[in-house]
Amino acid sequence: MPERKGEGPFRCPRCAAVTWGDLNYCMECGQELYIECPGCGATWRYFYEYPFCPSCGTKIKKEMRKAG
């Protein structure tokens, strides 16, 4: 599979490889592609930089929103 960087909506936050919606980890570098709420355990894709959990309202620390 050829490596593609910087294209499409599903890009790895660590290496910028193009991923797709049903992956849990980047196939190029192994970076986790989901954020988990420390309050309720809800998960969402890393590219949604929510300041608060959309399920319970827990404040999400900025370092959790930016994987790497």
Question: Mean of the pLDDT values across residues 34-46?
Answer: 88
pTM of the model: 0.59
Rounded-to-integer distance, Cα 24 and Cα 62, Å: 20
52 phi/psi in degrees, rounded to 5: -135, 150
* 60 vs 63, more confident: 60
Residue 23 predicted with pLDDT over 70: yes
At residue 63, the 3 state secondary structure works out as helix
Bridge partners, residue 52, by sequence:
59
To the nearest whole number, what is the mean pLDDT of the chain? 79
CB 58 within 8 A of CB 45: no
44 phi/psi in degrees, rounded to 5: -155, 165
Please report which confidence band the pLDDT of residue 63 belongs to, taking 50, 70 and 90 as the band edges: low
